């Protein structure tokens, strides 16, 4: 996917998350994009590793900064003591209008993820996305218990009960995702 085509998909992720009630900090965009790419198979080609709040892509973080520099994204303050929301910039609509076919093709995947993540806070997103990371990178068919243990090992501040719930939620999402996966 070309860079600006990919930017158009990212803008669509941000727009859809916002429509579903998300305040859209960088963590929301990171985790939603992880699902869009790794579960729904939209070929964004970001490289994710386990880092801040679970799966994290430095490439994506850099692209978000570059989009700000190019007037494609901006920042909006949220009430003290919270950090900023990432919002559309002056030129966002121009890029969306430039790639109508791309957006049409990937919209079902983006909408699916936004629907699941729009109302989630950072802590919940961290648990769910780490659960998907463990599921996709671990032993195929690993039990709920073994995956929950692995999450707790990697992120000790997530307790076993929370990890178990996250794995069950992810299993549900994976099942539903089959219908909207990009082929």
Partner 1 sequence: MAKRIHEIRDPIHNFIRLDSGEREVLDSSPFQRLRYIHQLALTYLVYPGATHRRFEHSLGVMELAGRVYDIVTEPDNIHESIRTIVPLHISHEHQYWRRVLRMAALCHDVGHLPFSHAAEKDLLPDGWDHERLTIEIIQSCEMESIWKGLKIQPDDVAKLAVGPKKYKDATFNDWEIILSEIIVGDAFGVDRMDYLLRDSHHAGVAYGKFDYYRLIDTIRILPREHEDSTEPALGIEEGGLHSAESMLLARYFMYMQLYFHHVRRIYDIHLKDFLKAWLSDGYLPVALDDHLQLTDNEVTTELQKAARDENHPGHDPARRIVNREHFRLLYHRNPDDLRKNPDAAEAIFDAACKKFGGGNVRHDSYEQKKSVLDFPILDNDGRIVSSQAKSVTLKNVPIVAVDYIFISPKYRKTAEDWLKQNRETIITQKEEDEL
Q: How far is the CB of 178 from partner 1 (least distance, A)?
A: 29
Q: Is 58 in the site for partner 1 (CB under 8 A)?
A: yes
Q: Which is nearer to partner 1, 50 or 169 (CB)?
A: 50
Q: Is 152 in the site for partner 1 (CB under 8 A)?
A: no
What x/- string results for residues 119 through 138 when contact with partner 1 is judged by CB under 8 A? --xxx--x------------
Spatial distance between the Cα atoms of 8 and 160, rounded to a whole number of angstroms? 38
Spatial distance between the Cα atoms of 158 and 118, rounded to a whole number of angstroms? 21
- CB contact set of 75 (below 8 Å; sequence gap of 6+): 68, 84, 85, 86, 87
- Of 70, 111, 115, 171, the residue at the interface with partner 1 (CB under 8 A) is 70
Q: Which stretch binds partner 1 (CB under 8 A): 12-20, 106-114, 149-157, 172-180?
A: 149-157
Spatial distance between the Cα atoms of 125 and 139, rounded to a whole number of angstroms? 22
With H, G, I as helix, E, B as strand and everything else as coil, classify residue 168: helix
Q: Is 62 in the site for partner 1 (CB under 8 A)?
A: yes
Q: Which stretch binds partner 1 (CB under 8 A): 36-44, 55-63, 108-116, 170-178?
A: 55-63
- Of 12, 22, 27, 135, the residue at the interface with partner 1 (CB under 8 A) is 27
Burial of 183 (0-12, 13-18, 19+ CB in 10 A): exposed
Burial per residue of 99-128, b for 16 or more beta-carbon CB atoms within 10 angstroms, e otherwise: beebbeebeebbbbbbebbbebebebbbbb
Give the bridge partners for 50, in sequence order: 55
Q: Is 139 in the site for partner 1 (CB under 8 A)?
A: no
Q: Which is nearer to partner 1, 47 or 179 (CB)?
A: 47
Residue 109 DSSP symbol: H
Site residues (CB under 8 A) for partner 1? 2, 4-5, 25-27, 47, 49-53, 58, 61-62, 64-66, 68-72, 75, 77-84, 86, 90-91, 94-95, 98-102, 121-123, 126, 154-157
């Amino acid at each position: 996917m070309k860079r600006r085509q990919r930017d158009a998909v990212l803008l669509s992720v941000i727009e859809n998350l916002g429509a579903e009630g998300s305040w859209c900090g960088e963590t929301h965009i990171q985790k939603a994009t992880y699902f869009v790419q790794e579960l729904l198979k939209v070929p964004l080609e970001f490289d994710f590793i386990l880092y801040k709040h679970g799966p994290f892509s430095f490439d994506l973080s850099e692209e978000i900064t570059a989009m700000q520099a190019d007037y494609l994204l901006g920042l909006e303050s949220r009430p003290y003591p919270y950090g900023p929301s990432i919002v559309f910039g002056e030129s966002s609509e121009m890029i969306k209008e430039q790639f109508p076919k791309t957006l049409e093709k990937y919209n079902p995947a983006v909408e699916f993820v936004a629907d699941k993540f729009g109302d989630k806070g950072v802590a919940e997103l961290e648990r769910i996305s780490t659960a998907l990371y463990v599921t996709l990178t671990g032993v195929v068919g690993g039990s709920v218990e073994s995956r929950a243990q692995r999450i707790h090992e990697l992120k000790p501040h997530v307790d076993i009960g929370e990890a178990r719930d996250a794995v069950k939620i992810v299993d549900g999402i994976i099942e539903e995702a089959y219908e909207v996966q990009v082929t």
